[in-house]
Amino acid sequence: MPRLTARNLTKTFNGLPAVDQVSFAIPDGAFLALLGPSGCGKTTLLRIIAGLEQPDHGELFFDDMAVVGPGGMLPPEARKLGMVFQSYALWPNMTVRGNIEFGLRAQKHPPEERRRRIAEVLEVVGLNGFELRRPHELSGGQRQRVALARSLAMRPRLILLDEPLANLDAHLREAMLAEFRRIHSVTGATFIFVTHDQEEAMAVATHLAVMNRGGLEQVGTPEELYLRPATEMVARFIGKGRTLPVEVLASEAELCTIGLAGAELKVPGQAPVGPGWLCLHAPDLRAVAEDGHLRCQVVNQIFQNGCYASQLMPLGIDTDTISLPLPGRLPQGADVEITISGGWVIPRQASASLVGGYEFA
């Protein structure tokens, strides 16, 4: 049984949908990264899940319990969840211990239980010995650990993190990501982690949900979104993907025969005969001496990681450049032959049945 199920959640501000008919399900203990460009509705969706925002319509279930539905809304404090914000939101005049203890006192846990839980969560987030420090005596990363410890002390089954690493520098962000993954596996709680950085998301998540303009484009594992994108937006957003317009000539059992700038080739995919997108990543492409599937022209090259990262303009199709590492320097405008050894074909107009259609058994 999935732990968290959303059905048609919609929230409109001033007549504009910030969250638009969002449906998904994630299993208990998942680490879901919610990603998408700035302003696409991530924070609003998280606030609906937390109970800080009331959706115009739609339903939300934790296991079989309706949290939002025709029967009304369960208040935030009854949802057994923790929230961690970009801004940390710690009490500046309280020690680390005081910040963590605050919620435990509010829930009327006896002193012995409070001490036990504080020691436990400080151990989990790696802040033993910092009990008596105040927030201004901590680094950004340590403050974020305190915010997480404060949430964990309440033993939530669901933790919502809204761009928790946005205020940290790149090096610390990477270390904290590894920490979040470790803490997720130690606690067994379900995490929903909002980010606009897809590399950050791929690094920690068991599941990804990609949002765009309030709608959910696709939910699945990182591999599924990379290998089998449901929409052009997901194909381009994940793993620096590229899409080429193709004509699907035949289609059977997840194998499409496509026409691409005069060449004909078979590529895995799910698309009916008609206009399609061929979704590609750099490992699907290789430069060859002759008899490639696609002829391109070199637009520019930069020397990077020991080879030449090359922008190539495919000839004979109406598209933008593709990028590929090449072993050598070539003059601008030179021809390069490319073979395509993988990829995924989707319909040019992704049908609604493919979008957000991911359900867990």
Ligand X SMILES: Nc1ncnc2c1ncn2[C@@H]1O[C@H](COP(=O)(O)OP(=O)(O)O)[C@@H](O)[C@H]1O
Applying CB under 6 A, which residues contact ligand X?
A: 13, 18, 38-44
Segment interacting with Mg ion, rule: CB under 5 A, options 35-43, 111-119, 173-181, 185-193: 35-43
Partner whose binding site includes residue 39, from ligand X, Mg ion, none (CB under 5 to 8 Å by kind): ligand X
CB 50 within 8 A of CB 81: yes
Nearest to 180 by CA among 190, 102, 170: 190
Closest separation between CB of residue 42 and Mg ion, Å? 5
In three state form, how does the secondary structure of 56-70 look? Answer: CEEEEEECCEEEEEC
Near Mg ion by CB under 5 A: residue from 5, 9, 43, 142 = 43
Closest separation between CB of residue 201 and ligand X, Å? 13
CA count, 13 A, side-chain hemisphere, 274:
8
Closest separation between CB of residue 237 and Mg ion, Å? 17
Question: Burial letters for 127-151: b for 16+ Cβ neighbours within 10 Å, e otherwise?
Answer: beebeeeebeebeebbbbbbbbbbb
CA distances from 154 to 92, 100, 163 (A): 20, 9, 21
Closest separation between CB of residue 45 and ligand X, Å? 7
Segment interacting with Mg ion, rule: CB under 5 A, options 42-50, 55-63, 213-221, 314-322: 42-50
* Contact call for residue 310 and Mg ion (CB under 5 A): no
Nearest to 31 by CA among 239, 211, 230, 177: 177
Partner whose binding site includes residue 41, from Mg ion, ligand X, none (CB under 5 to 8 Å by kind): ligand X
Partner whose binding site includes residue 44, from Mg ion, ligand X, none (CB under 5 to 8 Å by kind): ligand X
Closest separation between CB of residue 213 and ligand X, Å? 9
Residue number with CB closer to ligand X (42 or 114): 42
Partner whose binding site includes residue 91, from Mg ion, ligand X, none (CB under 5 to 8 Å by kind): none
Partner whose binding site includes residue 233, from ligand X, Mg ion, none (CB under 5 to 8 Å by kind): none
Partner whose binding site includes residue 187, from Mg ion, ligand X, none (CB under 5 to 8 Å by kind): none
Q: What is residue 101's three-state secondary structure?
A: helix
Closest separation between CB of residue 267 and ligand X, Å? 33
- Beta strand pairing call for 190-195 and 31-35: parallel
Give 198's contacts (C-beta < 8 A, 6+ positions apart).
Answer: 35, 237, 238, 239
Residue number with CB closer to ligand X (43 or 310): 43
Residue with nearest beta carbon to Mg ion: 43
CB 310 within 8 A of CB 300: yes
Which amino acid, one-letter code, is at 290? E
Nearest to 133 by CA among 165, 162, 164, 90: 90
Segment interacting with Mg ion, rule: CB under 5 A, options 37-45, 223-231, 303-311, 353-361: 37-45
Beta strands across the sheet bearing 190-195: 81-85, 158-162, 190-195, 31-35, 207-212, 215-220
Partner whose binding site includes residue 305, from Mg ion, ligand X, none (CB under 5 to 8 Å by kind): none
Residue number with CB closer to Mg ion (19 or 346): 19
Give the integer Cα–Cα distance in Å for 280 and 93. Answer: 53
Phi then psi dihedrals of residue 218, to 5 deg: -165, 145
Closest separation between CB of residue 18 and Mg ion, Å? 10
Q: Which residue has the tokens 């690493």?
A: 165
Closest separation between CB of residue 358 and ligand X, Å? 20
Residue number with CB closer to Mg ion (5 or 43): 43
Tokens of residue 103, six digits: 């919620």
Closest separation between CB of residue 207 and Mg ion, Å? 19
- Chain residues binding Mg ion by CB under 5 A are 43
